[in-house]
Every structure is written in C-alpha cells, then in structure tokens.
Chains A and B, each alone.
Chain A
Amino acid sequence: MGKVVINVDHLGVRFLMSSEKVDNLKEFVIKRINRQINYKQFWALKDVTFNVEQSDRVGILGLNGAGKSTLLKVIAGVMKPTEGIATTKGRIAPLLELGAGFDLQYTGAENIYLYGAVLGYSKEFIKDRFKEIVDFSELGDFINVPVKNYSSGMKSRLGFSIATIVEPDILILDEVFAVGDAKFRKKSEKKIKSMFKTGVTVLFVSHNIEQVKTICNKAILLEKGTLIAQGDVNEVCEIYENKINR
C-alpha cells in the first residue's frame, strides 16, 4: 500500500577477525614479518532482503548474536555493508542505547545542543524546542548540572527527550524501554505511540515479545545472520516462541 521507505536488498556484512587481535604497530610489524596474521571471515548478516513501507512498525527479533544490532547500524548509516544495499528515505532518529553520546563534563542544557547537532539539527531548531525537551525530561533544575552527576535514569530520560522531540520519518528503537522508572517508561511509550499517528516508520528491537506485539504490526526474524521469517507480527512471534521453547 504505502511507499517503500526502507529497502534492504541482498544485504551482507562480513567481519574480518584476526585470530588474535592486533591493535598496535609493534605486534603488527612482528607478526607481518613472521606471517602470523590469519584473518577469519565471519558473516554477521548474509543475503538479507526485506522492504519496509511507510508507517509500518517492524519488530526485529532474534537471539543474541543474530545480527540485529548490525542490521540497525547498517540502516542507520553507521556501518557500510560488504555487499548488497540498504537505502532509506527521510530523516532517521536512532534511539540506540540512550544517552551514550553525552559529554559528561557538559551540563544537561549544553548536551541538548550537542546531541541535537550530532543528530543533524540546526541551532534554531533546537532553540525552539529547548523548553519542550527540558519539560519532557522532567529534569527541572538539574538541567544546569554536569551530566556526570546524573543518575542513569536521568541520562536516558534526557536522551529520549532529545531524540523524540523531532518528527523523524524513521525511528530506530533498540531496547529503549529497558531503562527509566515505570512512570517514565509509561510516558515514553505513550509518546512513541503518539508518534505513530504522524505516520512514522519504526524499527523496534526488543527481547520482550509482549512489547513487540503491542507496538509493531509486522516483524522479521533473524537467525545467525540470515532472515528466516517475515510478515505479520503475530505469526513471526509465534515462530520465534517455538524456536525458544524447543
């Protein structure tokens, strides 16, 4: 029905892993001379193909090491695929491990500008939304305190508030509801659901099947880097549950 906003076509990501990690010049030179560097290939993703249409909410399921995070990194543009392509249309707001990009010496207020800049927003835009961000994060006067003195809940609240203040076209949620207290979690779930109405496309990673079912309408299932199921969220969740319980 809708237009395709994420197109992943025969995507493959290969890692080269040397059997011993060589990360300094001294070892590199010695091992090069002795010809001791052997690279092992490892495909984190192999031949993954799927489309996401506008305002679809897609859950990405899979056990640890299935390639979920790698897939999100490729879609977010952080990592380049070894083969195949992943194209996206529109602005992407990644909500990956909230607050990881904060500068600890900086105050909350300064971090709003910094984090906003990292996400590619202009100064005027952030200035306009500044109050809204502070209000949503419920930080109050703590906004002028260096982030190093924040609790982890405060950090993730601030990160969430900055990343969702815009209306992105594609929202990437990677285990974001695992943090914050119950009250804020409810509030953020509500916020994300309100974003659905604006036609945002969502990629959602979670190990909590119930959550996936309430948020998503479609799902894909990854196993060891390959796509083994895609389609309606309930069907895919069933396959996934069968796999776990087996």
Chain B
Amino acid sequence: MKQIIKNFNKYKFLLSELVVKEIKLKYRRSYLGILWTLLEPLLTMIVLSVVFGSFYGRSDKTFPIYVLTGRLLYAFFSNATKSAMKSIRTNGQMLKKVYVPKYIYPLASILSQYVTFLISLIVLVGVSIYLHIKPTIYLLEAIVPLLVLFVMVLGVGLILATLAVFFRDMEYLWGVILMMIMYCSAIFYDPERIIKTGHGWILQYNPLYSIILNFRNTVMDGLPLDMNALLYSIGFSVAALIIGMWMFYKKQDEFILNI
C-alpha cells in the first residue's frame, strides 16, 4: 500500500499533464475554444426544451432546468466512461515502451472530463438565475451526488477499460448500452409517466437516475437528499469501484500483450 502511494506521488505530475493535455487539445482547433463547454449544453437544452416542452405540453417554467440537469450529468457519465474505455488502447504505444502505472490513463481521462463537466455547470447557474430559481440551503448538498457520480464513473470506467483491451467490440456495445441508460434516466420526460405505467422499477434500480434525482432535488426543487436513492447510488458506485479496481489490477499485466 505504501509502495502504491509512493509510486502515485512520483507520477502525480504525469497525471496532471495528461489531464491538462486532454482539455487543451479538445478545444485547441476551435475558435470558441473552451466556450463550447458552455455553449453545447445550452443549445441542447434549448432544443430539448422546445421539442419536449411544446410538443408534449410541458409548459412548466423550470422544465429547461430539469432537462439541463439531467443532460449535464448524463453527458459526463457517457463521455467519461467512453474515454476511459478507450484510454488504454489510445496510449498503447506509450505503455509498450515505458513503465507507467497503467491506471494513470483511465484516471486522467475521467478527471479531464470531470473538470470540463464542472466548468459546464456554470451554464446551470446562469439558466437558474435567468429563470429566477431561488437557491435554498439544500444547494450545498448538491456536492454529494456529484462526488458519488465521480466514484461511479471511475468504477465503471475501470471495468470498461479492462474489457475493451480484450474485446474491441466493447466500444460499440457500450454505445448501445449508453443509449439505453439515457432513455431509462428520465432526462427529458417526467418520471411520473413511467411510474404510472407500472415500470417504476426501471428508475428505481438505475443508479444514474438516483444521482440525477438527488441533484435535481438539491439544485432546483429545494428539497433535501432522498436517502434511499442516495444509499443505493453510493452502494452501487462503491461496488463498481471495487470490482473495477480488482479487474484492472488482475488483468493489467496482460494489457501489453493485447494492445
């Protein structure tokens, strides 16, 4: 354990270099640069609010916030797990030549996505002010679902990174699964609609929805955290992290033979 921490300290600088690199390169070739992080969720929110708001008759004025919170969290989950999955293969050339703790690569891609995600939360602040949503004391609790989300993404990311080394079609498979998760997370529809049809269990057992629910409670509904949802999402995330670390650790020595 001590050895692992010592090793981590040695490669801390590499981790920060990689995080900075991914953020820098992502926006280097565009005129608006990092502004895209803000513009992209804002535009999607407008599209989704218009489509689902006017066509489905949701005229509720907080609906844009509802869509935006769901979409921001889902987009982070989807982007970060995808890039963590690819990280080992993209950096394969490096892994083959120089010794570097291998977990640095998935960790760096998730961290860089997390940083862009946190920056994009500025949009949420802006839209909330624009729509006169009054912050409550519970807003402070919003940090809890965000931390749980990070742990969950790290766990799922490590599992996917390990699998993707051995099975190249994981990328396509995960794309499909992500789409399924999106439709099961009540991002742009009212959860009541699903619960009414008797399929409420879909939401109840979806850990990502538990996190989205708690985030919405604290930032827009002025409600405290839902303890059931919180415990479920924490349990799932910790389990995913343990499984992910275990799989990664077990298989990391074989990576080099397969990339």
The listed residue (A25, A79, A96, A103) touching B167 by CB distance below 8 A is A25
A92 to B100, CA, bound (A): 12
A81 to B13, CA, bound (A): 28
A117 to B98, CA, bound (A): 11
Tell me the minimal C-beta distance from A104 to chain B in angstroms: 10
Of residues 17 through 45 on chain A, the ones whose CB sits less than 8 Å from some CB of chain B are 23-26, 28
- Closest-by-CB residue of B relative to A120 is B10
Is B94 in the interface zone, CB < 8 Å from A? yes
Tell me the minimal C-beta distance from A43 to chain B in angstroms: 14
Is A64 in the interface zone, CB < 8 Å from B? no
- Choose, from B73-81, B209-217, B251-259, the stretch at the interface: B251-259
A105 to B166, CA, bound (A): 28
Is A119 in the interface zone, CB < 8 Å from B? yes
Chain B at the A interface: SS class: helix
- Closest-by-CB residue of A relative to B10 is A120
Tell me the minimal C-beta distance from B255 to chain A in angstroms: 10
- The interface centre, meaning the residue of A16, A73, A103, A118 with most chain B CB atoms within 10 A of its CB, is A118
Of residues 83 through 103 on chain A, the ones whose CB sits less than 8 Å from some CB of chain B are 92, 94, 96-97, 100-101, 103
Q: Using Cβ atoms and an 8 Å threshold, which residues of chain A touch B94?
A: 100-101, 118
Asked whether A77 lies within 8 Å of B167 as measured between CB atoms, the reply is no
Is B134 in the interface zone, CB < 8 Å from A? no
- Choose, from B142-150, B168-176, B187-195, the stretch at the interface: B168-176
Is B238 in the interface zone, CB < 8 Å from A? no
Is A187 in the interface zone, CB < 8 Å from B? no
Q: Mark B230-259, 1 if CB is under 8 A from A, else 0.
A: 000000000000000000000001001110
Asked whether B10 lies within 8 Å of A26 as measured between CB atoms, the reply is no
Asked whether B13 lies within 8 Å of A78 as measured between CB atoms, the reply is no
The listed residue (B98, B169, B257) touching A94 by CB distance below 8 A is B98
Asked whether A78 lies within 8 Å of B95 as measured between CB atoms, the reply is yes
A28 to B168, CA, bound (A): 11
- Closest-by-CB residue of A relative to B256 is A79
Q: Using Cβ atoms and an 8 Å threshold, which residues of chain A touch B21?
A: 103, 106, 110, 114
A106-B173 contact in complex given A77-B99, A100-B97, C-beta closer than 8 Å = no
A96 to B25, CA, bound (A): 26
Asked whether B25 lies within 8 Å of A117 as measured between CB atoms, the reply is no
Q: Using Cβ atoms and an 8 Å threshold, which residues of chain A touch B184?
A: none
Asked whether A101 lies within 8 Å of B173 as measured between CB atoms, the reply is no
Asked whether A105 lies within 8 Å of B25 as measured between CB atoms, the reply is yes
The listed residue (A15, A23, A26, A96) touching B97 by CB distance below 8 A is A96
Of residues 88 through 102 on chain B, the ones whose CB sits less than 8 Å from some CB of chain A are 93-100
Q: Mark A106-124, 1 if CB is under 8 A from B, else 0.
A: 1000100110011111110
- A-B contact list, 14 entries, CB within 8 Å: A25-B170, A77-B99, A78-B95, A79-B256, A80-B253, A101-B97, A105-B28, A110-B21, A117-B13, A117-B18, A118-B14, A118-B100, A120-B11, A120-B100
Q: Which 4 A-B pairs have the closest CB atoms?
A: A77-B99, A117-B14, A24-B169, A25-B167
